[in-house]
Structure 1
Amino acid sequence: MLCLASASPRRRDLLASIGVEVSVRPSEVDETPYPGEQATAYVTRLAIAKAEAAMPHTALPTLGSDTAVVVDGAILGKPADADEAASMLGRLSGRTHQVMTAVAVTGPCGVLYRCVSTDVTMRRLTGQEISRYWQTGEPADKAGGYAIQGLAAVFVEEIKGSYSAVVGLPLYETAQLLHQQGVPIWMGHYNSHT
């Protein structure tokens, strides 16, 4: 079993998809980027901070993760309102951007972490599409103002890299970290012989 330091139902579902049971204990950390902080450093710092913040409350290995949408070097967080969402989606429209997701797992080996970058290309979006998408409510709590696993799937022309990382957790890398910390995935004991 694993402590998930996140309230994200997407991360919980992704872990369940590889057979990992979790106890959810969201961590409250300040997500303000440091001045001049690069996206990779930013998401890695937050993933580690979230995992470490939950550690004192559990004896279980703890997983923290953070995702950022990056375009032109700028980190796009969750939109505050319709105007900000429209601005974000307008910047992503017809272009390729990066989704950076970091995962950190605490356990017997200390704090282990990885950061994954995926290229996402969106088709050109009209102002009407962006407005209608906001009205669905889906973009409100999503980095970059969209959910690739939701209605915005129709906007995505191509991805290069980890799909699950764009959703919120790079499963290939996460499974490696969990294995190192002694947390079994669906393969259970078979995994310990490799």
Structure 2
Amino acid sequence: MRGVIERSNAYSVYLERELRSDHAGETGAIYIYKGIIAIVKLRKDQELISFAKHHGATEAEHLQLIESIFEAKHRSCLLGPWRIAGWLTGAIPALFGRKAVYATIDAVETFVEQHYQQQIEYLQKNGSHDDLLKLLIRCQADEINHKNEARSKVVSPRPLTLRLWCALVGGGSAVAVLLARQI
């Protein structure tokens, strides 16, 4: 295909960039849950500890799946900052309690669902990389479950500060993807 440079792992430049952002995102997601756990352990909130451990394990599985198909040399150079940003994205709302945590997870997972959907549609349109398509569909389904679980625990209406926080989280996720695609 004209304009597409195939890499040693047989992914186009576009897919390489998308996988780089997926790898960075799943790394950050693991740290979101680590940040939640760090704070809620102090409060001994077993519901949130269980929630974060369960979801964090799923994110770790996603990261392993992506690492199994995506060469280390093509991964983001910014994994340190992604870990810190992820940890803070989990820890900050945990300081304010369950409602803030669940709303944050809803915001993050809503973004991730859409991000994966764009990649799924690209692969379906181009009819290539069936294994990658299956992996992304599987990861997206897990993220949708995380979103739905978190959303079911958030009571409405959300206060303005929480809506602003969630908008910041969604916007920050979009910026992180743009950066991870490049670096």
TM-score, normalization by structure 1: 0.27
Structure having the larger proportion of residues in strand: 1
Greater RCO, 1 or 2 (C-alpha within 8 Å, sep 6+):
2
Structure having the larger proportion of residues in helix: 2
TM-score, normalization by structure 2: 0.29
